[in-house]
Amino acid sequence: MVDNGEALSSQLKKVAFRPRARKKLELTFGPGRAADLIGRTPEAIAKAEAKGRLPQPKIGSNGRRYYTLEDLTLIRQALGIIPGKQSHEPAVVLAVQNFKGGVGKSTITKHLADYLSLQGLRVLVVDCDPQASTSSLFDVDQEALWESEETLAHFLAPTAPLNDFRLTIQDTAWPTTKIVPSSLGLGEIEWHMVAGAEGRQEIMRRFGLLRSGISQVRREFDVILLDPPPAMGFLGMNVMAAATGLVIPVPARQLDFLSTIHFMTNIADTLESLQGYDMGVNYDFIRVVASNYSRSADGETGMLRILQQMCGTNMLTNPILASEEIKNSVQEFRSVYESDKPISSHKTFTRCRDNLDLVFAEILHVIRQQWPSTSLTGFDDRHLLDGEAA
């Protein structure tokens, strides 16, 4: 079968792997939304445009001003607004971590990346899950990766043929977001990582591969998001060692809750073993967020309260609500931030976005706290937190 398959594959590529259109973003923003994202009032922006401090805005067929993502970047630059870190500061490396599958890790990674990008931050997403859901949401061309020797798997192979982490990075449809995609080969990497892992020095080196890769590019991005594999093997350890902070999604259901306690214990043990290998991690923050939460569901409200008691101030105030809009968007391989046209009703769409905005504003606030300079750059994110604790 393998022989036949290899013979067939070149034929298949000609027939099935036709070059297809890649995802394009056609997002535009009205003056109000643009001003919101920039962190200034619409009046201030109109004034700067009138004075010639900013380029003249585009005018739509309806006579209204509108802006593209690139325009927002230009305006921020012209007004001296730095939404992210200063160039000498390192990126925040945030893992959306929970060993359970189906709790919303990939969905959150994708939506958080898009949210941060809208706010003007430079984001790198590293998809460490062989299932590659996040890569699909970013429309990564798996066919092209098939023959590539510049993948995450090549970089993480203990006898790495690839030393330059930068080569694994690809552009996405979002101008300020890049991705290190997952590929088929990542599924086998665990095995290669375990084989021949003997001696303290060698194990240490193998736990630290991703961390050292990321350190090559840590000053070039504001936030690096890690979507972890579903189990805690060598690959999982690499994610834990590379992260500087964790966001843990937990569905507020009893079974998920018990597995989360188990997960916390597991994390604590993992951190201890990393410590034992002199790979000590001291996370700058850990935040738990209730995910896929519905207020009406039996017992979920009670579970949310128990979760809050357990996590205290490490728990985000707003839960991520279960939403048809998220479910349907993900099915169409996109996030709810990637279109202004609701899939469900307009009400569901707005409710969903407002909820995500609130949750992610809390996360962005924590991210900004990691950069001492942010208090000096004139960026004020308090307005983002306004609707807190809905």
Ligand X SMILES: Nc1ncnc2c1ncn2[C@@H]1O[C@H](COP(=O)(O)OP(=O)(O)O)[C@@H](O)[C@H]1O
| Residue 71 interaction partner, one of ligand X, Mg ion, none, beta carbon < 5-8 Å per kind | none
CB of 131 to ligand X, least distance (A): 8
Question: Using the rule CB under 6 A, is 104 a contact of ligand X?
Answer: yes
Nearest CA among 245, 220, 233, 21 for reference residue 121 = 220
Q: Of 239-247, 259-267, 281-289, 324-332, which segment contacts ligand X by CB under 6 A?
A: 324-332
Comparing CB distances to ligand X, the nearer of 107 and 135 is 107
How many residues make up the chain in this entry? 390
Exactly one of 33, 205, 327, 351 binds ligand X (CB under 6 A); which one?
327
Window 124-153: residues binding Mg ion (CB under 5 A)? 129, 133
Question: Using the rule CB under 6 A, is 106 a contact of ligand X?
Answer: yes
CA atoms of 96 and 285, how far apart (whole Å):
12
Q: Are 82 and 73 in contact (CB under 8 A)?
A: no
Exactly one of 156, 186, 330, 363 binds ligand X (CB under 6 A); which one?
330
Window 114-173: residues binding ligand X (CB under 6 A)? 133
Comparing CB distances to ligand X, the nearer of 104 and 236 is 104
CA atoms of 214 and 225, how far apart (whole Å):
11
Q: Of 64-72, 177-185, 305-313, 319-327, which segment contacts ligand X by CB under 6 A?
A: 319-327
Exactly one of 40, 84, 92, 107 binds ligand X (CB under 6 A); which one?
107
The alpha carbons of the chain give a radius of gyration, in whole angstroms, of 22
CA atoms of 99 and 163, how far apart (whole Å):
29
Question: Encoding tokens for residue 70?
Answer: 């690139």
Question: Using the rule CB under 6 A, is 318 a contact of ligand X?
Answer: no
Question: Using the rule CB under 5 A, is 182 a contact of Mg ion?
Answer: no
Instruction: Say what the alpha-carbon torsion angle 164, 122, 59, 30 is, to the nearest 10 degrees.
Output: 150
Helix axes 234-242, 200-207, angle to 10 degrees: 70
Q: Of 41-49, 194-202, 297-305, 320-328, which segment contacts ligand X by CB under 6 A?
A: 320-328
CA atoms of 145 and 276, how far apart (whole Å):
36
CB of 380 to Mg ion, least distance (A): 34
Q: Give the start-end residues of each E strand in the chain.
A: 28-29, 58-59, 65-68, 92-96, 123-127, 170-171, 177-180, 223-227, 245-251, 285-291
Exactly one of 124, 247, 326, 343 binds ligand X (CB under 6 A); which one?
326
Q: Are 210 and 128 in contact (CB under 8 A)?
A: yes
Nearest CA among 157, 222, 231 for reference residue 373 = 222
Q: Of 16-24, 48-56, 87-95, 322-330, which segment contacts ligand X by CB under 6 A?
A: 322-330
Question: Using the rule CB under 6 A, is 103 a contact of ligand X?
Answer: yes
One character per residue 86-125, x = contact with Mg ion (rule: CB under 5 A): -------------------xx-------------------
Amino acid at 343: I
| Residue 196 interaction partner, one of Mg ion, ligand X, none, beta carbon < 5-8 Å per kind | none
Binding residues for ligand X (CB under 6 A): 101-107, 133, 292, 320, 322-323, 326-327, 330
Binding residues for Mg ion (CB under 5 A): 105-106, 129, 133
